[in-house]
Amino acid sequence: MGRGRLRNITVEEFSSSSAPEQHLEIVERKGLGHPDSICDAIMDRISVDLCTEYIEKFDTILHHNIDKCLLVAGETAGIFGGGVVVEPMLLVIGDRATFRSEDIEVDVANIATDTAKRWFDEKLRFVEPDFVEYQIELKHGSAELTDIFRRQKDILGSNDTSAAVGYAPLSFTEKAVLDMEKHLNSDAFKAEYPESGEDVKVMGVRRGSKLDLTVAMPFIDSFVDSEQHYFNMKQDIFGAMNGYLADYMEERGVCMNASISFNNLDVVGRGMGGIYTSVTGTSAEDADCGQVGRGNRVNGIIPLNRPVSSEAAAGKNPVSHVGKIYNVLSHHIAGKIVSKVPDVKEAYVWLLSDIGVPIDTPKVAAAQIIMEKGTVASVEKEVEEVIDLELEHIRDFCMQLARGMIPVC
């Protein structure tokens, strides 16, 4: 209990029913090719690559926060059989980084640009190199925040006063929405249905025992010969989605009335204006801009029934920025509580930092618990021990974030 008291750990009962017991659940997942998801993924990859560069050159991670990004939509002309890109997308990469230390230069701008180019090449099959332009707006960090990294401690002080909340486990609805998007963007699905684009969005709503999924996914216009051909392919993919969902529910023993809606804006007889096609597979080509922090939370979904953190984790440094560390760690600790402490049905973990105070000593570390049976008082000590142990090993956790081993979007 001693260390727990030093770390301000508290455990109490959560004063609401668990998510699956509530009548209404609404969950969203923005997929791989969504403009907001693109920004989150690229910014975090840049942070990981910068961490690698800093460690190689200085044997430590230096100050950076690559968490401001705008993906400005371009312009395309879509036609049956394959459209063209008229004006490229523009990726604006901004905020702070360390460009020089110990008289050694770090080519931050080229690292950022090269990382972004590699991401597009690896993840979006139809985005050619000249379809995206880059504008680097990374500047030097403030003296005080940069100095945190020079204080030579194993555990750095927090660079902000910030709060985060995480929970576990995911409900069936949350998992179904998350896994549907991952399935539609999987290598296997794209091999079978190469005409399907990566800008997949899944919205799930459960009312009691009725689950409705709404899916939006463009068709690559180079695969579409005509309007009728589009609707024929759409029917094939719609059948595959329904088959996947039926198998998914059966494998998990879930008995629920489920339905899927797919590309609801489509209207027969309106040609290209009545169908959802794309030249590149992402709506950022001409319809929708993207921005860091507007996409999925760090557990991969946007859960409207749950308390969520307001911080955008993607791109923030992984060793002092609690907007990233606590955001991800709160979910991690909640999962550990559910898996390690008997009879815990659901756990919510709240972490609050105090600027300048070592990140392993939060101002608040609170767990709110829903029990399957028994009382919270009976597991309070075990829950506290789980939280304390995870905070004790926070440096290892931070290094996993630095290496990109833990997804944040």
Which residue has 């590699």 as its token pair?
A: 118
Q: Domain containing 251 — which CATH number?
A: 3.30.300.340
Indicate whether 295 belongs to any domain. no
Q: What is the pLDDT of residue 409?
A: 87
Domain region containing 234 = 189-290
Mean pLDDT calculated for residue range 134-141: 93
User: pLDDT tens digit string along 32-59?
Assistant: 999 999 999 999 999 999 999 999 999 9
Mean pLDDT calculated for residue range 380-386: 97
Indicate whether 13 belongs to any domain. no
Indicate whether 301 belongs to any domain. no
Split at pLDDT 50, 70, 90, the class of 154 is: confident
Indicate whether 268 belongs to any domain. yes
- Cα radius of gyration (the chain): 23
Indicate whether 306 belongs to any domain. no
Residue 2 confidence (pLDDT) above 50: no
What DSSP string describes 353-392?
A: --TTSBTTS-SEEEEEEEESSS-HHHHHHHHHHHHHHHHH
User: pLDDT tens digit string along 265-311?
Assistant: 999 999 999 999 999 999 999 999 999 999 999 999 999 999 999 89
Indicate whether 173 belongs to any domain. no
Look at strands 257-262 and 210-216 and give their pairing.
Answer: parallel
User: pLDDT tens digit string along 175-228?
Assistant: 999 999 999 999 999 999 999 999 999 999 999 999 999 999 999 999 999 999
Q: Report how many domains make up the chain.
A: 1
Indicate whether 281 belongs to any domain. yes
Indicate whether 58 belongs to any domain. no
Q: 301 vs 171, 176, 200, 278, CA distance in Å? A: 11, 11, 13, 24
